[in-house]
Amino acid sequence: MSLVLTHARYQFLETVRVPIAVIGSAFFPAMAMLFFVVPFAGDNAVASTYATGSMVIFAVMSACLFTYGIGVAEDRAQPWDPYLRTLPAGPVPRFTGRIITVMGLTLIAIIPVLVIAAVLTEATVTVPQLLLGLGAILVGSLPFTLMGLSIGYTFSSKAAIVIAQVVFFPTAVGGGLLTGDPAYAPEFIKIVSPYLPTRGAVELVWAATTDFTPNPLALIMLAVWVVVFAALAVWAYRRDEGRRFT
Amino acid sequence: MAEILARTVEVTRKYGDVTALDQVSLDIRAGEVVGLLGPNGAGKSTLVNLFAGLRKPTSGRVELLGGSPTDPARRRGIGVTPQETGLPPTLRVGECADFVAAHFPDPVGRGELLDRFGLGDLAKRQIGGLSGGQKRRLAVALAFIGRPRLVFLDEPTTGLDVEARRTLWDGIRRFHAEGGTVVLTSHYLEEIEALAERVVVIGGGRVLTDDTMDAVRGLVGIRRVTLTASGLPELTGVLGVEQEGTRTHLLTADSDALVRELVLSGAPFADLEIRPTSLEEAFLTITGRESQAA
């Protein structure tokens, strides 16, 4: 366990010493919030709370897909990564350490979104709702973490950039992250969204912060996605071992 | 007979169609300093990576400290040098040492370790700001941090100046004197000569020679005879011929006999030069001879 924390600590240090990376992951969702949520739903308390939840999952997903997918693929190309595999530790500390690191970075990335929501919109939460919401975010980030790891351990860094982008947009839109209040979403989104991991994740956040009742199908699918991507990530990691080096 | 710390038993490792190691059986015994020599692509790194648990053999068996190198617990007893180009640039020297030390039950103290490798003043510096030689020393230091029984040092002094190289060699000798076992890979005969007692020559994925330093020295005592001549007679004892512009290079184990024969043949030649071959050339010759014999 202490080794997990050691890995998390040093990965976090490595990341925050390049502050632009942290700023970058916070910038995108904050901008989306300013451009899409504030002008269109800012004056409606319910709509802007839903939209804030969506943007938070949007931020989490982009942080996960890009820092894991591309970050892991880039790390694998560095000789430091094979060196770490010679140390007396299995894959768990590095894997788990990375997950903790990105959870920390995610919490930093959503601060601007929350600040914008509080200052510029009518979105409201109580303190327990906010804490519950943060918990929901950490649970909801799991499938994207594992998705990012699968991509990172399977593809080269150049391919990982493309794959992450290709996966990112349809999953975000299809899950209804950009269509606001779920009751008024287009028919197509209503049909597709329960099957996508973004939906289950955002419904958890909505349920935590509003009186929204989540769709059991979306939550079951969220669990299914977690299992699928966990299996994929482990498979990709094992397969990666001993193949990459020349 | 000393305890065997690591061994391969008829290990073959393939990458697709390429065979990097072909039926290699090798024992590393406690207290040895083994020099692993071979040209690029000979299979040296593959062999070290198998021992360090980075790769699995396609067939055959690899043992490390009585178990499998893929078992993390076995790897507590070994130390490996990372390539210095891969050290995380944003971490400080001390942080990097602490991070690696956290993986071992009884690591060397950070101050003691950094002092031993002449890095004591640099603990607070970010690795990205170090010189190539300083990074190299840090990389080697990391191999010793867990008080290993067996260290794998890959080109430990490449890029170091003479003084730093001597300091590092002294450190490796001290480790050996205290009972440590070392597997050293290098392109440089000088480095292997300075440290190793046993030399394993690898070429084309096979062990070509596994012998004491003295025996191998005799084996690679190959000379290069260079001259300008329009046509040469058939000469005995020529291991290889290379043509470079008007110059002809002849590789031979006995340059005296070759020159005598050349002079007696009466063939005209000019600008005769004789010098020892580089290790790499000698290995190519050995490799060529082996494949002819096969």
- What pLDDT score was predicted for residue A245? 41
B116: tokens are 């031993």
Chain B CB contacts of A82 below 8 Å: 49, 54
A220: tokens are 């079951």
Place of tokens 């001290």: B174
Place of tokens 């893929």: B70
| Contact (CB<8Å) B90/A242 | no
- What pLDDT score was predicted for residue B173? 92
| Contact (CB<8Å) A6/B102 | yes
Residue B72, chain A, CB below 8 Å: the answer is yes
Q: Which residues contact A24 (CB under 8 A, 6 or more apart)?
A: none
Name the pLDDT band for B282 (thresholds 50, 70, 90).
Answer: low
Residue A14, chain B, CB below 8 Å: the answer is yes
Residue A111, chain B, CB below 8 Å: the answer is no
B261 pLDDT exceeds 70? yes
**CATH top class, domain B4-214:** alpha beta
> Nearest CB to B75: which of A2, A3, A86?
A86
Name the pLDDT band for B85 (thresholds 50, 70, 90).
Answer: confident
Residue B146, chain A, CB below 8 Å: the answer is yes
Residue A6, chain B, CB below 8 Å: the answer is yes
Looking at chain B, which residues constitute the CATH 3.40.50.300 domain(s)?
Answer: 4-214
Name the pLDDT band for B294 (thresholds 50, 70, 90).
Answer: very low
| Mean pLDDT of all residues in B111-124 | 90
| Contact (CB<8Å) B49/A242 | yes
Residue B87, chain A, CB below 8 Å: the answer is yes
Q: What is the pLDDT of residues A191-237, one digit of tens each?
A: 888 899 999 999 999 998 888 888 899 999 999 999 999 999 888 88
How far does A122 lie from chain B, in Å, by closest CA?
Answer: 41
More confident residue, A156 or B149: B149
Check if the beta carbon of residue B32 is closer than 8 Å to that of residue B182. yes
- What pLDDT score was predicted for residue A242? 45
Reported in sequence order, the residue ranges of A124-219 that DSSP labels E, i.e. its strands, are none
- What pLDDT score was predicted for residue B1? 63
How far does A4 lie from chain B, in Å, by closest CA?
Answer: 10
> Nearest CB to B73: which of A17, A78, A88?
A88
Query: Which residue ranges of chain A lie beneath pLDDT 50?
Result: 242-246
Q: Measured between alpha carbons, how far is A153 from A3 in angstroms, rounded to an integer?
A: 22
Sheet holding B78-80, edge to edge: B78-80, B150-154, B181-185, B33-37, B198-203, B206-212
Q: What is the DSSP letter of B41?
A: T
| Mean pLDDT of all residues in B65-81 | 92
Secondary structure (DSSP) of B206-261? EEEEEEEHHHHHHHT--EEEEEE-S-----TTEEEEEEETTEEEEEES-HHHHHHH
- What pLDDT score was predicted for residue A246? 36
- What pLDDT score was predicted for residue B293? 47
B123: tokens are 């603990």
Residue B44, chain A, CB below 8 Å: the answer is no
> Nearest CB to A14: which of B75, B80, B90?
B90
Residue B91, chain A, CB below 8 Å: the answer is yes
Residue A81, chain B, CB below 8 Å: the answer is yes
- What pLDDT score was predicted for residue B285? 60
How far does B231 lie from chain A, in Å, by closest CA?
Answer: 43
Q: What is the pLDDT of residues B150-198, one digit of tens each?
A: 999 988 887 788 888 888 888 899 999 999 999 998 777 778 878 888 9
Chain B interface, best mutation among A2, A86, A243, by max B CB count within 10 A:
A86
Q: What is the pLDDT of residues B127-148, one digit of tens each?
A: 999 988 889 889 999 999 999 9
> ipTM value of the model?
0.76
Name the pLDDT band for B69 (thresholds 50, 70, 90).
Answer: very high
How far does A108 lie from chain B, in Å, by closest CA?
Answer: 20
3-state secondary structure A158-185: HHHHHHHHHHHHHHHHHCCCCCCCHHHC
Residue A86, chain B, CB below 8 Å: the answer is yes
How far does A77 lie from chain B, in Å, by closest CA?
Answer: 9
- What pLDDT score was predicted for residue B220? 65
Check if the beta carbon of residue A93 is closer than 8 Å to that of residue A3. yes
